[in-house]
Chains A and B, each alone.
Chain A
Amino acid sequence: EAGVAQSPRYKIIEKRQSVAFWCNPISGHATLYWYQQILGQGPKLLIQFQNNGVVDDSQLPKDRFSAERLKGVDSTLKIQPAKLEDSAVYLCATSGGAIEYEQYFGPGTRLTVT
């Protein structure tokens, strides 16, 4: 079974620029999560999708972050404009397999904002 795919793996941008991350879930997993992990901290949930509907986006900075999950499969997370404090690893996770509540992470995208 293929895992969660993410791209790009690394991105360096200047502040005020925009950036987008892509995630492809494990086949059949209905729930998709985007997390932000700052160095030395645990992952923090940004947004959760169930199929193509948003379940929880309470911690998403909506003035600059947006996310969508078209057709209930792939998802994109966008930051516009980026700030220095957005430097982090952005992790996509999915769940909905044999044990519904277990979440599996993709490799992540390391974002550096200069």
Chain B
Amino acid sequence: QKEVEQNSGPLSVPEGAIASLNCTYSDRGSQSFFWYRQYSGKSPELIMSIYSNGDKEDGRFTAQLNKASQYVSLLIRDSQPSDSATYLCAVNPHLTGTASKLTFGTGTRLQVTL
């Protein structure tokens, strides 16, 4: 059973702080990794994808991947109240092709306080 583990939270951070969200996965052969943001009552929205070890930055978001440790994280700088949501980590065994399939974690709920 391939698993993706996340702390369910809630993770509470003050406005303007850095939020750090973590995810571990069991399938060592996993190739691509995704972070989705899901507001209450809404569908998941893709915010970051990463497939190479190291950091990938996009605006206030940075995804970090360490395949040796089977660990992927998402940093949100200058956290805003609008960042309050559940963040889902998803793992794909493939980079491309018809066999691509996402396994999701249960999500971490982030609360940004004023």
Q: Using CB atoms and an 8 Å cutoff, list the residues of chain A in contact with chain B.
A: 31, 33, 40-45, 48, 50, 55-56, 89, 91, 95, 99-108
* Chain B interface extent, by class: 20 to 34
The answer to whether B42 has its CB under 8 Å from any CB of chain A is yes
Interchain CB contact under 8 A, B44 and A102: no
By a CB distance below 8 angstroms, the chain A residues around B101 are 45, 48, 56
Interchain CB contact under 8 A, B32 and A101: yes
Interchain CB contact under 8 A, B46 and A104: yes
Q: List 26 A-B contacts (CB under 8 A).
A: A31-B98, A31-B100, A42-B88, A42-B104, A42-B107, A43-B88, A44-B104, A45-B102, A50-B98, A55-B98, A55-B99, A56-B99, A91-B43, A91-B44, A100-B96, A100-B97, A100-B100, A101-B32, A102-B34, A103-B102, A104-B46, A105-B45, A105-B46, A106-B43, A107-B43, A108-B43
In the complex, besides A44-B104, A56-B101, A102-B34, 4 extra interface pairs with C-beta distance below 8 angstroms are A45-B102, A89-B43, A100-B100, A105-B45
By a CB distance below 8 angstroms, the chain A residues around B98 are 31, 50, 55
Q: Closest CB-CB distance, A6 to chain B, in whole Å? A: 9
Interchain CB contact under 8 A, A101 and B43: no
Q: How far is the CA of A73 from the CA of B84 in the complex (A)?
A: 35
The answer to whether B56 has its CB under 8 Å from any CB of chain A is no
Given contacts A43-B44, A91-B44, A106-B43, contact A101 B104 (CB under 8 A): no
Q: Closest CB-CB distance, B85 to chain A, in whole Å? A: 14
Q: How far is the CA of A102 from the CA of B106 in the complex (A)?
A: 19
By a CB distance below 8 angstroms, the chain A residues around B49 are 99, 101-102
The answer to whether B95 has its CB under 8 Å from any CB of chain A is yes
Interface string of B71-105 (1 = CB under 8 A from A): 00000000000000000101010111111111111
Across the A-B interface, give the 3 residue pairs with the lowest CB-CB distance, nearest first: A42-B104, A105-B43, A50-B98
Q: How far is the CA of A40 from the CA of B104 in the complex (A)?
A: 12
Q: Closest CB-CB distance, B109 to chain A, in whole Å? A: 10
Q: How far is the CA of A62 from the CA of B84 in the complex (A)?
A: 37
Q: How far is the CA of A103 from the CA of B100 in the complex (A)?
A: 10
Nearest CB to that of A55 among chain B residues? B98
